[in-house]
Structure 1
Amino acid sequence: MNILIFLVPAALLLGLLGLVAFLWSLKTGQYDDLEGAAERILFDDDEPEKDEPKKD
């Protein structure tokens, strides 16, 4: 039972750290653009723009 004296504060501290990390991620806008990454994968940035006329 003496181990609970150490485990309970350690669990509360870890929970508080997790809550602080989550609130920090909310404040910095980590969850603002949920669809952007999913749509960005569809576009290929390696290919040049097709605005240039082709030389035949």
Structure 2
Amino acid sequence: MSIIFFMIGISLLLALGFLGAFLWSMRTGQQDDLYTPSIRMLLEDDAPETSQPQSNA
């Protein structure tokens, strides 16, 4: 019977931890722009720089 109280206590601590992480992410702006990261792979990157071949002299 005591294991039930232990498990309820652990689950409440875990739930409070997730709630704290969610509130922290909302307060620091982690959830502000959810659209741009999903289309970032479709945008073109800058052209890679071409380097001159090195000669082995």
TM normalised by structure 2 equals 0.70
Give the C-alpha shift of residue 5 in structure 1: 2.2
Task: Name the counterpart of 1:43.
Answer: 43
Unaligned runs of 5+ in 1: 49-56
- CA offset at residue 26 of structure 1? 0.7
Task: Give the % identical residues.
Answer: 50
Greater CA deviation, 16-25 or 3-12? 3-12
Q: Matched residues in 1 for 2:10 and 2:39: separation?
A: 41
1:3 and 2:7 aligned: no
RMSD, aligned α-carbons: 1.5
Note if 1:33 corresponds to 2:33: yes
Instruction: Quote the offset at 1:32 in angstroms.
Output: 0.7
User: How far did 1:44 drift?
Assistant: 2.2
Which structure has greater helix proportion?
2
Aligned residues, how many?
48
2:19 matched to 1:16? no
